[in-house]
Amino acid sequence: MLSRVGRLSACLLGLATMVGVNSTALAEEVERWGVNMPVGVTQVSRETYGLHMDIFWWCVGIGVVVFGVMFYTMIVHRKSNGAKASNFHESTTLEIIWTVVPFLILIIMAIPATKTLLKIYDFSETDMDIVVTGYQWKWKYEYLGEEVSFFSSLSTPREQIDNLAPKGPNYLLEVDEPLIIPTGKKVRFLITANDVIHAWWVPDLAVKRDAIPGYVNESWTIVDEPGVFRGQCAELCGKDHGFMPIVVKALPQDEFDQWLQTKKAEAATLRALTEKEFTFDELYSQGEAVYNRVCAACHQVNGAGVAGVFPAIKGSAIATGQMAAHLDIIVNGSKKNPAMAAFGPQLSEVDIASVITFQRNAFGNNMGDSVQPIDVLKFKQGGQ
């Protein structure tokens, strides 16, 4: 902490001395501190940045005039200077001028803003569609017509958040699996949510749309150059709202196609795995990984839950009771407490089988039993 305070004062000093010295160094310092909206990497983001700067300079100009007059008055027309008060208190001419002039400035600003807005709302002629679904607290990306879909969640280790390990350069802005898009293509995002309202926001693309359960919102982007762009959920969505980042990776078309093929093959392998018989240890160790990725956010890494909000897994009636009830709550969620979502559509059969096996045997639950992916599939098909 002290080092940060030291660095901060050094920066402030440096900034102060640099103002008079070197404008490029100042520009670099401004860049490092992140004081302005990113210009971004798309036509829309550049236009948005332009609008932002235009309206900003209008405000600066008006501010200079208004505050200029005000400070002049405060310095010159003060009683201690012997200023005698005039008595004028009305001027229709002045009132008309300062009603009409701002109105004209507004019209000047409204024209480009309208043009950009109409461009953003042009959803025609898209090259591909990606369904973006917000979940508490992760994103699901589904490539329409490609049978490829996956979840993307925070990959920053818990130790960094709890200050037990040094923080990485992309602290809180890194995910296990980024959204991959091709460059030079008009990619349409169909944005919705599964539970509460989220908002999908990537500043460099100037895309922000609310993800609302029951609604499908549209947005689009064309990224010219390959790159990695980071954003965050922008609508308060509960406990881990600050921990569901977005990472978009733009690849050249050929690399994108390659990636898509690999993902398709992976999906096929996963479907085949459902048929496979797993050992207890395989299920348990994979289950631990799934638990930490999916369940631990609420039920905690030690399975103790949070009193009054998220029930404990440790010694819980479900995890130490009938297998069918355990399958039911994982696959269909809780009717009593909607915070426990239905994970049937979110997780693979293998993941569900392993996390159930883990929960029944970890935290001293020691049930000694396990469940196979194929049983999960049967439950899903028959038990709905």
Question: Which tokens belong to 192?
Answer: 């919705």
Please identify which residue in the block is written with the tokens 């982007």.
Answer: 221
* Nearest-approach distance from CB 29 to other proteins, in angstroms: 11
Contact present, 205 and 238 (Cβ < 8 Å): no
Q: Which is nearer to other proteins, 323 or 339 (CB)?
A: 339
Query: Minimum distance from CB of 311 to other proteins (Å)?
Result: 12
Three-state SS letters, 258-326: HHHHHHHHHHHHHHHHCCCCCCHHHHHHHHHHHHHHHHHHHHCCCCCCECCCECCCCCCCCCCCCHHHH
User: Minimum Å distance from CB 185 to other proteins?
Assistant: 21
Q: What minimum distance in Å lies between the beta carbon of 118 and other proteins? A: 7
Nearest CB to other proteins, comparing residues 226 and 238? 238
Closer by beta carbon to other proteins, 58 or else 150 = 58
Q: What dihedral do alpha carbons 65, 66, 72, 73 form, nearest 10°?
A: 150
User: Between 191 and 356, whose beta carbon lies closer to other proteins?
Assistant: 191
Q: Which is nearer to other proteins, 232 or 365 (CB)?
A: 232
Return the H-helix or E-strand segment holding 198. strand 198-202
Please state the φ and ψ torsions of residue 22, each to the nearest 5 degrees.
-145, 115
Structural contact between residues 236 and 216, judged by C-beta atoms closer than 8 angstroms = no
* CB-CB contact of 198 with 210 (8 Å): yes
**Measured distance CA(37)–CA(51) in Å, rounded:** 11
How many other C-beta atoms lie within 10 A of the C-beta of residue 247?
21
- Based on CB atoms, which residue is closest to other proteins, 239 or 264? 239
Which one, 10 or 265, has the nearer CB to other proteins? 10
Q: Minimum CB separation from other proteins for residue 331, in Å?
A: 17
Query: C-beta of 87: minimal distance to other proteins in Å?
Result: 7
Residue closer to other proteins (CB basis): 24 or 93: 93
Contact 231, 199 (CB under 8 A): no
Least separation in angstroms between CB 71 and other proteins? 9
**108, two tokens:** 């000047």
Tokens of 266: 């992976």
Q: Nearest-5° angle of CA 307, CA 310, CA 313?
A: 95
- Scanning the structure block, which residue is given the tokens 């359960």? 213
Closest CB 293 distance from other proteins, rounded Å:
18
Please state the closest distance from residue 155 (CB atom) to other proteins, in A.
14
DSSP reduced 3-state for 299 = helix
**DSSP states of 102-151 as a string?**
HHHHHHHHHHHHHHHHHHHT---S-SEEEEEEEETTEEEEEETTTTEEEE
Residue whose CB is less far from other proteins, 39 or 377? 39
